[in-house]
Structure formats: structure tokens, C-alpha cells
Amino acid sequence: MYRITVHGDDRIAKIEPDLYGHFSEHIGGVFYDGIWVGEDSKIPNIRGLRLELVEKLKAIGAPVIRWPGGCFAETYDWRDGIGPREERPTRINWWRNSDGRYEPNSVGTHEFVDFCRLVGAEPYIAANITSLTPLDIRDWMDYCNSPAGTTTLAREREKNGSREPLNVKYWGVGNETWGGGGNMTGEMYAHEYRKYAVIMENADPHAQLICSGADHNDWRWAHDVLGVLESSYRIMNGFSLHFYCGAAGDPLAFSEEEWYKQLRQALDIERAIQRNWGFVVGYGMEKRARLVIDEWGCWHPGGSGPSSHMKDYGIEPAPNNPEGVQNLFEQQSTMRDGIVAAATLNMFNNHAEKIKMATVAQLVNNLHCLFLAGGPYCITTPTYHVFDMMKDHMGGDALRISGDLGEITREQEDRRRNYSVPNLSVSASKKDGVLTLTLANLSVTEAADVKLNLSCLEAAPEAEYITFTADDPHAHNTYEEPDKVHLTRETKTFDGSVTVPAFSAVTVRVRAE
């Protein structure tokens, strides 16, 4: 029996809804034909956007979506994606050397913002500072956000179908500038940031500018960048961080040992959060440099998704994929990926004072995705169901928890490399008089019986229990069995006792004052 106390009088911080955000890049099948099917498609769509995906994303309250990359942003010129679609240029896609595809620019600024508004999400644009000038980015902001009729670019926007401003609030000042985004050193990027940011702020003083952070292993980046930016911190609204947990065996046929290795890697995100936050605090930039973890998730070898045999489903390749090449980096999502998502979101909740935003990578037909789609098919993954199960944490007050989370120790032949993971991952929040508690069981073999103690809270006699479970840790959804992994919901007596099946998660929602 695990005993967990929820401290109703110990508030950590508000859980920003944007912690539950998403990332969409022009890579592989994310847009063509994942999100975008075209206005003339027989597939149900809204102005070319896949209707089923829009509706399901709206149902989980997606708060923010990042675009157009990722690495794709490094060579993206926003002007290629405006104006009549038939007149837009075809360009080399950043990922062309990997999958041979070219970019048709069918989806540009208007289509992306339309997608966000249909879903109910805020657009978050990653600006290209690798191959565009500060004036180019200023013009993009002018085009997006200037009031109707005020500037030449605002009038051009109206000509292209949007009289009123697009009101893009979030702007990334570069992406992975330590790598494909310019191959810069920290100090070099910091000086570039100062130059671009002052021009971008001048274009729109209300825009929130996100500084390009490091890969999670490079703590020196935070030291070097923030050291230069500290004197001009007023033009900074967030500090980016990317975190991927690498492959641990086959994405579908992993062993028990590989289950735990994947979880151990995923939980290391806490160390990355604390390390980077230490520099933010050290430079006194807590208000301006809260973390924006705008790429995170599992990165398995590609090829396990349905596009690897799209011909068997009678799926016609996307227009920019005439050879029917499988979608780059597409991977299936199993219960293991779902538990990684639940444990990661719990981590974000428990560090709510440090994190401004997070966007899982990526939305569809790629890495740690919520959807797999092709032709008439559109299915949700276990990761989608975790976001659905935990959506009520958004906007709530994160509460401190304490107690015994257990420990699973894995012994290696080289005992110096033994490692452990907790049995349980837990977070709690309170909003509008309702306590939401999520418990993820990281054990792949044993159920967890938990006794909850609600300190300074009096709970109602009944609660809603939302359970994410399956009969096999390898379980996943396919086009043939789209609902093999799903949620169950029931209302029953609440006495503080919760049983979490192995490799599963449970969210409890109960009125508590």
C-alpha cells in the first residue's frame, strides 16, 4: 500500500494551460496528408484541414501549437506560404535529403493560424533567424498583427483573405541555434537574439519572444546565453529547452528491461528542468525566462507506423510524396509511450512555477504523436488518451504532494550501472473547487494500491475515475483496431483508495473544499 498526501494548503503555482501544447513541423507526414488533405479532397475537411483531427484536438482543449519547425524553420521564408495557393513556389524541404520530399507551401501562415483557431489553440511561430534578416521577421509580424488597413503588409493580408489581424502572440527567436539553426555558440546566439529581439519587439510590443535554449544535456548553453542576455532581459518572455528520450529497443516489441530504460531516460527531464532553472534563478530572470519545453517526447526508430505499408490500405501518397515513401520518423505509440507522457506531464505539473509552456513532438505521423492519419484513416494513439485524461489539470493550482512513491531497482551485470525508477508518478491540482489527481504506475508487472490523504481538504463522497489501461504494455491502436487502447470513465464512491493497474494511469476528479 502506497500512502500519498495531497497538501491542499501548499500551492506550487498555476499550471499554465500551455504546458499541454503541441508541435507541428513540415516534416514527413505531419502536414501532408496528416493535418492537410486539401479543399478538394473527399476526406471530410474544413478549408483543407482534416476535420476529424481538428475535432479530436479541440476535444482535449489543445492550448497552443508550434509551427513551422523545428529544423524546417531554418530555411523557411514566410512569403512562400501566402497568396493564391496555385502560385506558391515549391522549395527544397529541410528534410529532403532524408525522404526526398519537396515543400509545396500549400500550408502557410493563413492555413496554420486557421487550424489553430478552429482547434481553439494559440499559434506559436518559430521564426527563422538562420537565413532571414531581422527586417524579414519584422515584416512577418507586421503582416500577421498590424491592424486592418494600417500598413502595406496589413493590406496585403486582407487581400489574401484576412482583414483582421491574425494576432500571433508567441514568437520563437530561432530554433536549435546550437545545431541546424546556425551552429552557433551560446554567446554568439545571445548577441543575435539581442539584435533580432529588439527589432521584433518594435514590430509588436505585445508579442512574447521565446529565446532558443539548448539540448537538455548542454547546461553550459544556459550559462552562456543568459549571461549575455541578463542586461536586456526585458525583451525576453521564455527560455526554450528540448528533451528527447532516445530509443530503448523496438518501439513495438520492447522487453521488460527496455520498458524501464525508456522510463529512466524520460524521467531525466527533471534533471534538465532543475539544471536550466538554476541558471535562470542565478541570473535573477525568473519572471522573464521561465522554461518553454517546446520539443519533448520519445524518439524511436522510424518505420513502425502505418505509412510503412500504406499501399496495403489503399492510401494514395500525398502530393509531395509521389513515390509513396513512408513518413519520416513516423513511429507507433504504445502503452509505454503513454506512460512516458503521463509521467512527463506529472513532472511539468509538479514544476509549474518553472515552466511557461511545453509542446510535445510531434502532433501526427511522426515522433511522440497523438494521431496517425493517412487517406481516410485518422486514429488516436495512447498518447492522445493521456492528454485527454489529464486535460483538467490545465489552469489549475498545482498542489504539493508527499509520501512513498516506491522504487523499482534494475540490477545490471555491471553493478556500477544499476538504476531505479519510482513505482508511482503523481501530481495534483485544484480548480473551481475540484481536485484532479493523476497517478501513473511505472511498474510493468505489479498493480499499485494507493491510499490518499487529503490534507486541509474535505472531499465529496463520490468521484470520477478516468483509467488509462490495456491488457498488454505493448498495446497500441491501428487502422484495423483503432480503439484497442482507450479511456474508461466511471463515477463511484470516493474513500481515498485507488488501485492503479500495472503499466497504467488513473485520474481521479473529486470536489474538495
- Report, as residue numbers or ranges, the catalytic residues: 176, 295
Q: What cell numbers appear for 24 in the block? A: 507541428
DSSP string, 210-248: EEEEEETT-HHHHHHHHHHHGGGGGG--EEEEEEEE---
CB atoms within 10 A of CB 69: 25
360 neighbors 23 (Cβ within 8 angstroms): yes
CB-based contact 335:485 (threshold 8 Å): yes
CB atoms within 10 A of CB 162: 19
Question: Residues 6 or more apart from 35 whose CB is under 8 A from it?
Answer: 24, 49, 50, 53, 107, 115, 363, 364
CA nearest neighbour of 215 among 269, 265, 281: 269
CA distance 43 to 45: 6
CA distances, 239 to each of 141, 259, 273, 282 (Å):
20, 31, 11, 14
Beta bridge partners of residue 464, listed in sequence order: 491, 509
Whose CA is closest to 421, among 309, 306, 258? Answer: 258
Distance CA(110)–CA(244), nearest Å, equals 30
